[in-house]
Amino acid sequence: MTIETLNKLWKRGTEFFGIEKAIIGGAMSWISDPDLAAAISNAGGVGFIAGGALKPEMLDEWIKTTQKKTKKTFGVNLMTMHPNLDDLIDVCGQNHVSHVILAGGVPKTESVKKIKDYGIKCMCFAPALVLAKRLMRAGVDAFVIEGHESGGHVGPITTTILTQEILPALAKDIPVFVAGGIGTGKIAAAYLMMGAAGVQVGTRFVCTFECNAHRKFKDAYLKAAARDAMPTVQVDHRFPVIPVRAISNDATIKFMQFQHEIVQKYNNGEIELKDGQMQIESYWMGALRKAVVDGDVENGSVMAGQSVEFVKKEMSVQQVVDELTNDAAAELDLYKEKLS
């Protein structure tokens, strides 16, 4: 097995971050903390702190802690809908963070500019080609395209469709990393062959020794199959809920009931539409913490991508990164053999 072809294919990604292996640790709220982010960076990839649920003071603490745990590149994932987004960007700038990903919605041009004014590389998610082109004009430095197979909040389009739409159009002009359903190095090799600069992996890193998720949360992953990680359903078009992919449990049923309760309150004039939407969106953040931190995997949200199918045992972060790397290199060797 040779690594030269793999290194050539993901060179744009490794150079963008200044790392050895173009594997991004997907930021997962309450999971992607300094321990996990630093471990992924130390393993040769690039870890990202999940800042979506953090206040500025805690993000500052997490960044400083991560800097003590690794001297290698790491980044911060920020949610565009966070009420303190500007303050969080300031914290990243003041701590000399090198890369920030804006997630959870279409970022404002002002947010992109604020990040870049600090000298930070700004990355965004691109759910469609037309939006990606608009964000490029705003100055975004790289994209992550994440398909429906991923865990947590998901869009309507699968990874295979997004890659066919976006990679041929943009990969020559800007680094594009593929996410959603990346469970093995084999599929990573395929996307690299299509022009991806690298891949983003989340679910595979949950059952690692360095991940601080509750033991029961990890055990739920180890028992689950791809078909168990299902997206939630929107019950009323007036409340356009972004689907959340999680392992089915009592919380999934309760969320459906909760949506009906909110709709009924709105119909009765008890709450405004916007307030109802916020309550529905906030439901999963609390439910996720309940599962990840408290270990309540029945009443909490066990968010997971369909790549949970490939989580068979607890491993070190280094073992996961090495497995993905070696399998990708072996797959590329197999391509060569078939074509020779």
Give per-residue pLDDT as tens, 315-332. 999 999 999 999 999 999
Q: Where are the domains of the chain?
A: 4-213+308-335, 227-292
Under CATH, which architecture does the 4-213+308-335 domain have? Alpha-Beta Barrel (3.20)
Amino acid at 206: V
Q: What is the pLDDT of residues 106-127, one digit of tens each?
A: 899 999 999 999 999 999 999 8
The residue-averaged pLDDT of 234-257 equals 88
Q: Are strands 198-201 and 152-153 parallel, antiparallel or unpaired?
A: unpaired
Is a pLDDT exceeding 90 seen at residue 284?
Answer: no
The residue-averaged pLDDT of 230-258 equals 88
- pLDDT band of residue 334 (cuts 50, 70, 90) is very high
- pLDDT band of residue 243 (cuts 50, 70, 90) is confident
H/E run at residue 245: strand 244-247
Statement: the pTM of the whole predicted model exceeds 0.75: yes
Is a pLDDT exceeding 90 seen at residue 292?
Answer: yes
**Better pLDDT: 239 or 1:** 239
**What pLDDT score does 252 carry?**
85
**What pLDDT score does 104 carry?**
84
**What pLDDT score does 1 carry?**
57
The mean of the pLDDT values for the chain is 94
- pLDDT band of residue 52 (cuts 50, 70, 90) is confident
**What pLDDT score does 264 carry?**
95
**What pLDDT score does 240 carry?**
82
**Better pLDDT: 53 or 111:** 111
**What pLDDT score does 278 carry?**
80
H/E run at residue 117: helix 109-117
**What pLDDT score does 151 carry?**
94
**Better pLDDT: 238 or 209:** 209
Handedness of CA 286, 287, 289, 290 (dihedral sign): positive
- pLDDT band of residue 153 (cuts 50, 70, 90) is confident
Q: DSSP string of 104-140?
A: SSPPPHHHHHHHHHTT-EEEEE-SSHHHHHHHHHTT-
List beta partners, residue 142. 123
